[in-house]
Structure 1
Amino acid sequence: MSDLKLSVNDGRVRMSNANIQLVLNAEGKADSLIFHGQELLENLKGEKADPDAQHTFYCDYHVKGKTVNIKPNKLVVIEDSTDRIHVAYIDDVSQLGVAYHFILPAKDDAIYSYVKAWNNTQSMIKVDEFRTVYRLNHDLFYLGKNHERIGYQPTSAHMISGSRIQDETYELDDGSLYSNSKIYSKYDYAGYFKENDFWGQFGHEYGFWFIPANRSYYDGGPLNQDLLLHYDGLILNYMASSHLGKDQFKIPVGWSKVYGPWCLYLNEGKNKIKDAQIRAKKEQANWPYQWVNETGYFNEAVTIKGKIKINQQLPKDQLQLVLSQACSNNDFLKVQDGYSFDAVTNKQGDFVLEKVRPGNYVVYVYSIGGKIVGTYKLADKQVTGESIQDWGTLNWRIKETKTIWQIGESTHTTAGFKFSDQLRNYIWQDSVPANYDFEIGAADNDWYYLQNDHGVWKITFSGQFSEKSSKDYELILAFAGETQKDMQDKKGITVRVAVNDREAQVKSFVNDKAAYRSALRSGSYGLMKVKIARDSLKPNSENTIRISTNGYLLYDTLLLTEAD
């Protein structure tokens, strides 16, 4: 006999099994969640200005700086069987159409959910954020956990009692209880989707875990990062946003997409984290879910194998491969309307992409080590419904030039530089020196992950050149991120480079909104290439390069090479 029960009354849904009872109101928000007899949604806390301060399990999006909740005009019972209950709250009257699904299996400690969204107009829709939010009783759920860290989370009332620095970032007398300094920010518990098999909030008795099962629906590639959890017992699922290197989501006419399903897993006992890890692995193994019957969802999983060579030779370093939709400037991080898949090659250049959705893709590649900078389009590929595809050898053609010197390695991140391995916090952006002198030959880890606007950084080098050389030179600055100083400013960021005290180039970048949001490893990747005439450098004496900015620069690598 099934343990499932369902009642529907005037838009209100009550679904239960032997372990869980979930009550949803006509807006598609949860009024009650009982797990093993304990109500988890009492005494919800939120900021006074937040219209959803007392709400949970809601789906919303931001347009022109304003929050828009979905407005369901239909409630559909999709399945009421001995295996599962499946209902959907559908808003097909708003500009952004949304179907918000809830699935409760029999005899389980989990709820599944997914969202199908579509452009319900004949024009482009511009969305700043699109998410689902789970607010829990902070008295029961006061510890946050993601891949990077575990820590106590304050209430918003306690947070705002401190000294405000910026957007939900405060200095607190007891701030070190919640983060790794006296400054607590909601961005301290952001993380990379690729690294997070699950995240959530827990306490002494209970745990509530968000398990994405498969991260391809977040799109954006391996460096897509976003808010995952923070104060007030909140767990966040950002399906799209303009945070941390991404752009406003410009939704084209005719677009639709299925996000998820994800698993909301509840547990109790002493080993809640370990238990959640086990459950996350189980969900990943079961993807794609065969019980989903939804137009736009793929039940087929394709494995793709192949090899990458560089100029017909085995690569010297591992390579990052990304399958994405076509994008401008090869910047797949900013793509949010499709699905992406990625893999890292081994030392022989072999790669395996698993559980790929059939469709048309662009293959992008970049180096995660060594001297090759930039992101490159490698090929256009169609993935069919075959279970295994062999792409053979893909040849990456590059121009090879002589490197005079290099600081760091090309990874698209700040990896290897000072402070890049620390936990996210607002303090690091002002912990670097204002003025800094670096002499070529010093250790790479003497270089800092970030340069701010407080001064000038100088690189000194000598004795590297041949007077007989007829070639000019090129200074390449590869940035892992470029962030303007003021969050409210709209001017972007400017970088100035001088060679031997003569200004060589000035370049502006769009604000990636990363560094001031506690990002330490990456924001939006960017390149600055400075041509240097041969006679501008002195072959047998000291040369200097000076770099300054009016914002924040996250460094990937710096190279001086012979020009093509």
Structure 2
Amino acid sequence: MTMVVCVQVVVENGIVRVTLSIPEGMITGIEYNGVENLLETQNPDENRGYWDLSWSKLGKEHIGMYDRIVGTNFSVVVEDPEQVELSFTNTWDSSSQSDLVPLNIDRRFVMLRGCAGFYSYAIYEHLGEWPGFSIAETRMVLKPSQTKFHYMALSDTRQRIMPMPEDRASGEPLAYPEAVLLTNPINANLRGEVDDKYQYSCENKDGGVHGWICRECTNDSSVGFWMITPSNEFKSGGPLKQDLTSHVGPTMLSMFLSAHYGGDDVKLRFEEGEPWRKVFGPVFVYLNSASDAEDPYTALWEDAKQQMAIQVQDWPYTFPASEDFPKKQQRGSVHGRLLVRDRYINEDDMMADSAYVGLAPLGEAGSWQIEGKGYQFWTNADTKGYFRIDNIREGDYNLYAFVRGFIGDYKYDVNLTITAGDHINLGNLVYEPPRDGPTLWEIGIPDRTAEEFYIPDANPKYINKLYLSHPTSEAKAPAPVDRFRQYGLWERYSNIYRESDLVYEVGVSNYQRDWFFAQVTRKNETKNAYQATTWTIVFNLTNVDHHNSTYKLRVALASATYADLHVQVNGPERYNPIFRSGLVGADNSIARHGIHGLYHLFNIDVPSDLLIVGTNLIFLTQSKRDTAFEEVMYDYIRLEGPLNSH
């Protein structure tokens, strides 16, 4: 490998050539397969490849500040025939009272011999005497060439020719800022489609590889340009946290932390004097090529997935020079088995089939979904509930879990301290989900999403063709493909329920057909205002235990956006709500085409004297009505009889 240092530093290994500015550390050029620069050369040097963050001073969270991370010192950490590692640092000057984020940041770039790409990671540090602040977002950004890269891929089913930036600029802005109706796109096939970067979000667990393909990038081959994330240990929010990937620009992101689909709850807040240090990454920027004799889109995507699997297998990497990144021998593991105990379902303990089990910093049950200061390590249990979590960094953790088919969050009641070389056997662990009595009725599936409910067809005026239903085979009906990612579905509620709100009759209605996936506000076109909505659940009881008994209503929310949920039983005109959530959630899930945000579980006492033999009614009112985007998405609702009732 060779390295040339002048105003810029150039690193190459015979496959890839990467140019970075000194001392700023901006990626200004990537040469591969005969293409002089895969990045957008019409952009200035500082807007081709970079790290950035959004933050606020404590007490001034309403004033968001943006820092593109610019190095002030450059050094070569490793230079030998096998590896080059470069460091670009910026140090916060406490005496300057700077409006820069109060962090020391050391960004590293690594190139290995024989490797078709390069790695990047960073160490963020907040010293104890520095002022408090909050971080809303930090990420690595690459801007591929607009003239070369038009095809984007982020999963087997989510890949397509994308619009151009000019198409968005000439399009019609829609109700949410990121959404644009393409009215006169360069590619006429895209006319009438909606483009929105949030339509290409995905969960951490599914975001291992995404990127762009240049068809006929050279005379005889096509080129793929990929962002590979081999581990999510440094990302915030756990396996279900949703975030951006690639989108029109072309833009390719590695999101480490953001408030997307979570709001202020997931921002990192640091008090004055609070020390902190964290490594983000490494992530791998991978390049591949395919002969034009092949189907380049399929060939390059499949190869990128194979490369992702290789990178996952190689984690934790052996090459990072920073002592802040522990190698495999410096880490530990835990294993065990998770069982579920619910005597109203089964007299025997049940296997936690495919449960998510993870280690995250110390906290309450479920706190992992808003945690980002530390590291998280997750796995899926097997069909019998056995799990193993490897490569855990040293530190203090709680073990958390959640199981599809059961409400709530599990937390192991013993704090775990992991040290190098530990292999801890936790044996059998038992999760007892919330339960007071037998199930009288239930709506939905407890899976932390609203995906099983009725998701309507998009308004034909506002579609993304990628998410239209398509046939799975000649023998089957069209299958939905992420229908919830279409624009404007909040408007469809008022179209479907024109005169009155949703009424769901237990034992008659079907939640897949009759329960709209989001309880949104209703647009009053005459007054150009929004109205609160009240949904009604109708159910029959053949007997009611009135002997000092309390029934239990479990309401699990998959998402909430500036909502205030009220619950009333049998006669809203006569009774005050038996439950008010208060203002809850800032997920923006429906506006950002998500099917869930943060999970909330409300356990509501229903006094038996409110219930009658015969027909009963439960009213669910989402009382906030300022915008189209205030909503709740239900995950699951269950009414339980009193303890020991039959």
Paired residue for 2:229?
Answer: 212
Question: Is the partner of 2:622 in helix, strand or coil?
Answer: strand
* Residue type at the aligned position of 2:308: A
Among 595, 609, 615, the residue aligned to 1:535: 609
State the alpha-carbon separation in 2 of the partners of residues 406 and 164 from structure 1.
41
Change (3 A) 1:415 1:482: same
Paired residue for 2:371?
Answer: 335
Question: Is the partner of 2:48 in helix, strand or coil?
Answer: coil
Change (3 A) 1:317 1:179: farther
State the alpha-carbon separation in 2 of the partners of residues 493 and 466 from structure 1.
32
Shift of 1:215: 1.2
Change (3 A) 1:495 1:83: same
Paired residue for 2:360?
Answer: 324
State the alpha-carbon separation in 2 of the partners of residues 13 and 444 from structure 1.
60
Among 46, 55, 61, the residue aligned to 2:47: 55
Among 416, 422, 432, the residue aligned to 1:381: 416
> Is 1:267 the counterpart of 2:288 in the alignment?
yes
The CA deviation string for residues 334-387 of structure 1, in whole angstroms up to 9 with x for no partner, is: 1111111122333433222233223211112223114x3345454321223226
Shift of 1:289: 0.8
* Residue type at the aligned position of 1:422: R
Using structure 2 for the length normalisation, give the TM-score.
Answer: 0.79
Among 398, 404, 411, the residue aligned to 1:362: 398
Shift of 1:250: 1.4
More strand by share: 1
* Residue type at the aligned position of 1:103: V
Change (3 A) 1:44 1:450: farther
* Residue type at the aligned position of 1:195: D
Paired residue for 1:486?
Answer: none
> Is 1:500 the counterpart of 2:570 in the alignment?
yes
Paired residue for 1:487?
Answer: none
Change (3 A) 1:394 1:374: closer
Shift of 1:117: 0.8
State the alpha-carbon separation in 2 of the partners of residues 323 and 509 from structure 1.
30
State the alpha-carbon separation in 1 of the partners of residues 622 and 581 from structure 2.
11
Paired residue for 2:97?
Answer: none
Paired residue for 2:200?
Answer: 189
* Residue type at the aligned position of 1:214: S
> Is 1:236 the counterpart of 2:253 in the alignment?
yes
Paired residue for 2:137?
Answer: 129
Change (3 A) 1:58 1:106: same
Contact 2:106–2:124 (Cα < 8 Å) also in 1: yes
* Residue type at the aligned position of 1:140: K
Change (3 A) 1:42 1:285: closer
Paired residue for 1:405?
Answer: 441
Paired residue for 2:349?
Answer: 314
Change (3 A) 1:417 1:289: same
Shift of 1:295: 2.2
> Is 1:291 the counterpart of 2:319 in the alignment?
yes
The CA deviation string for residues 29-61 of structure 1, in whole angstroms up to 9 with x for no partner, is: 122211122023454577xxxxx7971221111
Alignment of 1:90-489 (within 5 A): 90-93=89-92, 95-120=102-127, 122-147=130-155, 149-165=158-174, 166-173=176-183, 182-204=193-215, 205-245=222-262, 247-251=266-270, 253-269=274-290, 270=296, 271-300=299-328, 301-311=331-341, 313-315=348-350, 317-318=352-353, 319-327=355-363, 330-370=366-406, 372-374=407-409, 376=411, 378-386=413-421, 388-398=423-433, 400=435, 401-419=437-455, 421-422=482-483, 424-432=485-493, 433-434=496-497, 435-441=501-507, 442-446=509-513, 447-454=515-522, 455-467=533-545, 470-483=548-561
Contact 1:475–1:532 (Cα < 8 Å) also in 2: yes
Q: Which moved more, 1:328-337 or 1:233-242?
A: 328-337
Contact 1:460–1:542 (Cα < 8 Å) also in 2: yes
* Residue type at the aligned position of 2:257: A
* Residue type at the aligned position of 1:391: L
Paired residue for 2:627?
Answer: none
Paired residue for 1:19?
Answer: 15
State the alpha-carbon separation in 2 of the partners of residues 549 and 331 from structure 1.
27
Over aligned residue pairs, what C-alpha RMSD do you find?
Answer: 2.6
Among 28, 34, 50, the residue aligned to 1:37: 34
Change (3 A) 1:358 1:90: same
Change (3 A) 1:451 1:71: same
State the alpha-carbon separation in 2 of the partners of residues 263 and 206 from structure 1.
16
State the alpha-carbon separation in 1 of the partners of residues 414 and 432 from structure 2.
11
Shift of 1:507: 1.9
Change (3 A) 1:98 1:510: farther
Change (3 A) 1:106 1:348: closer
The CA deviation string for residues 208-229 of structure 1, in whole angstroms up to 9 with x for no partner, is: 1111111111132111111111
State the alpha-carbon separation in 2 of the partners of residues 193 and 5 from structure 1.
35
Contact 2:570–2:618 (Cα < 8 Å) also in 1: yes
Contact 2:544–2:612 (Cα < 8 Å) also in 1: no
Shift of 1:74: 1.1
> Is 1:512 the counterpart of 2:547 in the alignment?
no
State the alpha-carbon separation in 2 of the partners of residues 467 and 70 from structure 1.
64
Paired residue for 2:79?
Answer: 80
Question: Is the partner of 2:414 in helix, strand or coil?
Answer: strand
State the alpha-carbon separation in 2 of the partners of residues 450 and 198 from structure 1.
30
Question: Is the partner of 2:536 in helix, strand or coil?
Answer: strand
* Residue type at the aligned position of 1:268: S
State the alpha-carbon separation in 2 of the partners of residues 39 and 509 from structure 1.
53
State the alpha-carbon separation in 1 of the partners of residues 86 and 39 from structure 2.
24
Contact 1:151–1:178 (Cα < 8 Å) also in 2: no
The CA deviation string for residues 296-346 of structure 1, in whole angstroms up to 9 with x for no partner, is: 212125442201234595236533322111235632121111111122333
Paired residue for 2:69?
Answer: 70
State the alpha-carbon separation in 2 of the partners of residues 521 and 179 from structure 1.
25
Contact 2:172–2:183 (Cα < 8 Å) also in 1: no
Shift of 1:563: 5.1
State the alpha-carbon separation in 1 of the partners of residues 371 and 592 from structure 2.
22
Question: Is the partner of 2:402 in helix, strand or coil?
Answer: strand
State the alpha-carbon separation in 2 of the partners of residues 101 and 178 from structure 1.
42
Q: Which moved more, 1:331-340 or 1:351-360?
A: 351-360
State the alpha-carbon separation in 2 of the partners of residues 451 and 375 from structure 1.
28
Using structure 1 for the length normalisation, give the TM-score.
Answer: 0.90
Contact 1:322–1:342 (Cα < 8 Å) also in 2: yes
Question: Is the partner of 2:541 in helix, strand or coil?
Answer: coil
* Residue type at the aligned position of 2:50: Y
Paired residue for 1:89?
Answer: 88
Contact 1:219–1:324 (Cα < 8 Å) also in 2: no
Change (3 A) 1:357 1:429: farther
Which 5+ residue runs of structure 2 have no aligned equivalent?
57-63, 93-99, 216-221, 291-295, 343-347, 456-479, 523-532, 625-629
State the alpha-carbon separation in 2 of the partners of residues 375 and 541 from structure 1.
35
Contact 1:422–1:520 (Cα < 8 Å) also in 2: no
Shift of 1:408: 1.2
* Residue type at the aligned position of 1:554: M
Which 5+ residue runs of structure 1 have no aligned equivalent?
47-51, 484-491
Change (3 A) 1:343 1:17: closer
Aligned-pair identity (%): 21
Contact 1:98–1:116 (Cα < 8 Å) also in 2: yes
Contact 2:204–2:243 (Cα < 8 Å) also in 1: yes
Q: Which moved more, 1:194-203 or 1:338-347?
A: 338-347
Change (3 A) 1:399 1:140: closer
Change (3 A) 1:14 1:418: same
Question: Is the partner of 1:336 in helix, strand or coil?
Answer: coil
Contact 1:181–1:427 (Cα < 8 Å) also in 2: no
